[in-house]
A and B are shown apart, each in its own frame.
Chain A
């Protein structure tokens, strides 16, 4: 009996997806982009792309979905995609953020990956709107040569397309690429294209059909250090006695061109601009205000080269690794700090508590390949649930800390490929009875009491066998 059911299900599914794709293709066919402008910022190792699309509904039915497409190589390195739309007229414009969700399309040419932008108001036939899209790419600049000596500067490749990859017809488009310096070894020419200063302009190109692609390769100097945190584990421990303890374990690597041959300290010290220009000398971490008891250490002890600057709005921790990081060099370290609990812990109306804390890595201009956030709730807290603005993997763990009997619930969240743009807030909700706070002091007090009682008893009892 089972087989026919399954067959029917499968048939239903196929029908459904067919219907779906027809819907899709209808919206695909009727939209077109009248004007597109793309600005690619290559000044750091995180590639920032600003895309301005003027979308026009040339079809007859209103639609509220706009598709973005990416070549598969880029999609793998895509850290975040945001879409904004301007609202209001003239001076009173406000930017409204739109929902963006990754989408699978069955008939994608060359495995192109899609994101769907959901417009707030459906675009009626004949209307047009302007969408601003911002997306960030990590690991997209490939060092070439892959190995450099200390005195050489770091050259990288950046690959993209001169034409914007889009499922829609684009009437007019232009791409501007900003390089970190004027030193550009070479770039692919797709006429009309020209270079002025630190900017390379491709376009304007007119009337390109959907999925037009014209690969370009730019070879330029980028001496900004490629700070990549391969793995970061952030542990946030809540103590209802008034402290929030944060411990962050980093595995930092310089992902730029690998260092080759000699490291000469005398050159590095005497001519710092010429020698080791791409080396990573220090990092800046932006911590919340009112941070206290900050430490910076690694497996073998404290690292003395760090500075903390605090003011009422933020705290800045400048950390230097034990040694300057050249391409391919690694360093692991731990940063820890305490925060006043009242800044981050709040109560909801239904008597639940929630922690409101930033998700991402506090280091500036740093890519995190894998981030694990652990929120250690106080002993005795129940029903934890986390609210994160982007999809993460979640599970629960138990941790034993000072004087714990049943252990503390740990909410673990994992995410891959993060950029500083992910530093948004997340919330962890839980219920907690304040009486549990007294458990540990009472336990200690009773232990001491028992000890003294035992002492008194010992002094008053005669244990000798012989009288």
Chain B
């Protein structure tokens, strides 16, 4: 050391960073890494499949984004879409949350401006991962705000890979939730910051954050109810302050005004029951402020008590009366079914089958909590404990956010997503606080040991300290063990998250992949095969009927008009389709014709063993159809309370349209070696009705693995015309006439000429006669009659103008 040149060591020293700078550097680099990690962990699906839009709803978002890029914002805002909900159409601009599309187009425009030759699809695919990365940053700052920067870093890491969030933000899942979780967390963070500082700027920022959230997702209702609840709790616990007053009022007023700019939301903030809590709390705040002022002015406490009593009663009474009047007059709309179903998990099952039919609206199973949160599930209570130990305005907020969102997560699988940021933050507090405590323990020891060793012969002070330390030998070992335990758990969490992401959440569900017999990867691309066929080979204005799940995909990929789609705003229309699918073909064709349908599309997994096909969804068609049209009765389709497709199935089931369309000519098909033909691999049974005959529909296209089958609706038959089209001579069909010719001879007066006449109606007069002659010469029935006479009689009977002397040529 001593031989080292002094100048060099000086130089080294000048490069050496101060501890604070070092910490900053480490923090920034960790954040950068987390930012990148959050992005790349969501790219599994792109690497494994391709850069494509996933699932159902994202296809609608993608289609609208395309429209926005092509036609500009104003056209988008006023867009009336003729291609969905035929014949009703849909006011798209007024019935969607435009935040996602506007965001994607903005990113796209910026990239284009910087001359990056990207396609809008790539932007859409990567929007969700990009916003997930941004969410980690927000999580860091939020953690820093409520606890410390360590907790912030841990929160950022946890949320970056948490499966509960990844499930809705992988590349290609171009859905509202992708940007909404960012907006949600950002709004909360900025609001908490505003409450902590009382700064008007932060609360303005939270109003804009709220506006962005409103523009992006219907889940904004959660914010607008959680924040007043939080404020109420603060008021009750006596934590009212000027900071809170500024933050809340500014955020509410501005946020409300901004939210009204979104057409889909409109004046709901002042008109709907779901938004009344925030208004009530707003007035309560004013009352509080007023009372505070009065209290300040009045020195007499007794007088103030009396005043308080009167004011509070008055305020509550006025509020109650206003609410009651609003409800009665219909100015304030009552809570919607969806809101009820959140508060009461059994509500949807009994009242709204269409909500219950969606798998992501089911109550959450314990296993999916474990699947989506893993160790966070038990770090969460620990974090709550730490929060309660260090109560502040911020920790109260996160506790409330955590508890309420956990409740909603229990009600609906889908809402795990909303709970995820809270769970991550609270768990991060637990991890950070624990690790911090443990390392403080370890470090204090090390220091002592170090000082002891360097000083060599210690004085009485150091020896007494050493004695004190030795009194807790377990503590150090215990701390090390606990630290290792914590790191082990966290590493398990990381592996679990990666596994879940890669196995469960990175499948586009448009393309299905399976393992072949030799371990090779087999791809079923049937959906796109069918949609592309529709797009290329059907008339531009063809109307396609399918179950509502596939509506968005058909309009986006097939570019054809659909009857119903995933925007389930009109239950009756969906029920009509459900009724058509579950009726006999004769009845169904009437509905199909009344809806002006050209093609019927069904999804069928019997050949491949794909289980989420229309036969398995059939019970919802029956239930939703039966909910509106009592003609459809569920017991008709059931045998011993279950849906069956084999020989033991109910007769109505075996002959309803859905069954026929799925199993048309399936009875000839050998699906599995050693099984009889017509063996349904998705349900593992041999089908019950192998001889399916279609009368009004014909097979137009079936994909290579039979997953999608498309049927064409035949034009209505001409009256009693059996096969030929009108205006063509088809002697084979004129057997009826020949019959008649025989009759004419016998009984001229009242021969049943009608069926015959309609047959030759389409023919030109002379042509009709010639055609009849051909038929007679072919002599279908082997009758011999006096041709020329009876023929002219017959034709005259049909009011055809033919020369009476017409004679059949040789």
Contact = CB atoms under 8 A, between A and B. Distances in A.
B391 to A, nearest CB: 31
Given A322-B525, A323-B532, A301 B702 contact: no
B315 interface: no
A298 B533 CA distance: 12
A330 B537 contact: yes
B115 A264 contact: no
Interface in B645-704: 665, 668-669, 698-704
Contacts of A330: 536-537
A265 interface: yes
Nearest to A404: B115
Contacts of A301: 50, 52, 510-511, 528
B537 A329 contact: yes
Nearest to A304: B523
B665 A266 contact: yes
Contacts of A404: 115
B117 to A, nearest CB: 5
A270 B528 CA distance: 23
Contacts of B52: 301-302
Given A262-B698, A264-B702, A330-B537, A322 B50 contact: no
A332 B536 contact: yes
B124 to A, nearest CB: 13
Given A300-B557, A402-B116, A329 B528 contact: no
A230 to B, nearest CB: 12
Given A301-B50, A400-B117, A265 B533 contact: no
B142 interface: no
Interface string A319-349: 0001100001111100000000000000000
Contacts of B620: none
A322 B115 contact: no
A304 B525 contact: yes
A144 B117 CA distance: 48
Contacts of B701: 263, 265, 323
A264, A298, A328, A331, most chain B CB atoms within 10 A: A264
B699 A323 contact: no
B702 A300 contact: no
B529 interface: yes
B703 A263 contact: no
Contact of A261 (B511, B528, B537, B698): B698
Nearest to B114: A403
A51 interface: no
A303 interface: yes
B699 A264 contact: yes
Contacts of A198: none
A323 B532 CA distance: 9
B76 interface: no
Interface residues of A, number: 28
Nearest to A447: B114
Contacts of B700: 262-263
Nearest to A320: B704
Contact of A323 (B117, B533, B665): B533
Given A302-B50, A402-B116, A402-B117, A265 B525 contact: no
Contact of B669 (A266, A323, A402): A266
Contacts of B557: 300
A401 interface: yes
Nearest to B706: A265
Interface in B112-147: 114-117
A400 B116 CA distance: 9
Interface in B621-655: none
A265 B704 contact: yes
B651 to A, nearest CB: 25
Interface string B502-530: 00000000110000000000010100110
A401 B528 contact: no
A261 B557 CA distance: 24
A247 to B, nearest CB: 12
A401 B119 CA distance: 12
B46 to A, nearest CB: 11
B531 interface: yes
B29 to A, nearest CB: 14
B532 A322 contact: yes
Nearest to A259: B537
A158 B728 CA distance: 27
B699 A263 contact: yes
A401 to B, nearest CB: 5
Contacts of A302: 50, 52
Contacts of A323: 529, 532-533, 701, 703-704
Nearest to A300: B557
Interface string A296-312: 00111111110000000
Given A264-B665, A300-B557, A323-B701, A329 B115 contact: no
Q: Which of B535, B536, B701 has the most CB of A within 10 A?
A: B536
A265 B701 CA distance: 7
B274 to A, nearest CB: 38
A328 B529 CA distance: 17
Interface in A280-307: 298-305
Contact of A402 (B50, B115, B704, B706): B115
A405 to B, nearest CB: 8
Nearest to A268: B702
Given A301-B52, A332-B536, A401-B115, A266 B525 contact: no
Given A262-B700, A301-B50, A322 B529 contact: yes
Nearest to A303: B525
Contacts of A263: 699-702
Nearest to A261: B698
B665 A403 contact: no
B555 to A, nearest CB: 12
Interface in A401-450: 401-405
Given A263-B701, A266-B669, A300 B532 contact: yes
A247 B125 CA distance: 22
Contacts of B535: 299-300
A421 B533 CA distance: 31
A402 B702 CA distance: 42
A205 to B, nearest CB: 40
Nearest to A329: B537
B528 A322 contact: yes
A303 B668 CA distance: 29
Nearest to B513: A304
Interface string A50-65: 0000000000000000
A405 B113 CA distance: 10
Interface string A266-283: 100010000000000000
Given A265-B702, A265-B704, A401-B115, A329 B665 contact: no
Nearest to B531: A300
Nearest to B559: A299
A439 B510 CA distance: 42
Nearest to B522: A304
Contact of B699 (A262, A332, A400): A262
Contacts of A329: 533, 536-537
Interface in B75-126: 114-117
21 contacts: A262-B699, A262-B700, A263-B700, A265-B699, A265-B701, A265-B702, A265-B704, A300-B531, A301-B50, A301-B528, A302-B50, A303-B525, A304-B511, A323-B529, A323-B533, A323-B704, A329-B537, A400-B117, A402-B115, A402-B116, A403-B114
Given A263-B699, A300-B528, A332-B536, 15 more contacts: A264-B665, A265-B701, A265-B703, A265-B704, A302-B50, A302-B52, A304-B511, A322-B529, A323-B703, A329-B533, A331-B532, A331-B536, A401-B117, A402-B115, A405-B115
Interface of B: 50, 52, 114-117, 510-511, 523, 525, 528-529, 531-533, 535-537, 557, 665, 668-669, 698-704, 706
Interface of A: 261-266, 270, 298-305, 322-323, 328-332, 400-405
Q: Which 5 A-B pairs have the closest CB atoms?
A: A265-B702, A330-B536, A302-B50, A322-B529, A300-B557
